[in-house]
Amino acid sequence: MNKKGNIPTFMLLIASVVLVTIALSTFASFKNDLKSNSGEFFETVNQVNFINEYVEKVFDDSVDKAIEESNGDDFNAEFRKNFERIVDEKNLKLKGSGNFFGKVRNGDYILDKDKIIVENVFVKSNVGNNEIIRNFNLERNFGSG
């Protein structure tokens, strides 16, 4: 009788029992907590979207108001002073509002004759173990051309 095939067959049986045991223990230990995790993720996304829209709106409104209030001989100097003051007034100090307000307060933006650029702005949201950081630039043309 040929007994050489019994050892590999027995090894296959043991390997399959081990794999089935691992699969069953994985199924048994899985926590079906996807609903709460997706809720936290959804809240994180909503927060970062809200803060992003808030910063963009403050930027646009502040540029418009600073243009209206800057009508002297030195437009750039008046615009800078008015823009920084207006942005500071609109700062609600929201958690996660990032570095926009600090950049403006420190004069860390580019003001050309017909546009303003605030580079490398970020907003951030943390809910539970989820964190989202969104990086973007703010740019606005306001030239008379």
Question: How is 69-84 classified by DSSP, letter by letter?
Answer: H--SS-HHHHHHHHHH
Angle between helix 34-69 and 75-90 (nearest 10):
140
The whole model's pTM is what?
0.72
* Segments making up each domain of the chain, as ranges: 35-141
Q: Output the pLDDT for position 144.
A: 55
Helices (H) and strands (E) counted in the chain, each on its own, are 4, 3
Q: Output the pLDDT for position 145.
A: 42
53: enclosing H helix or E strand:
helix 34-69
Q: Output the pLDDT for position 26.
A: 84
Going from the first residue of the chain to its last (145 residues), give the mean pLDDT of each consecutive group of 10, the final group possibly shorter: 70 90 85 69 90 95 92 86 94 90 94 91 89 94 67
User: What is residue 86's DSSP assignment?
Assistant: H
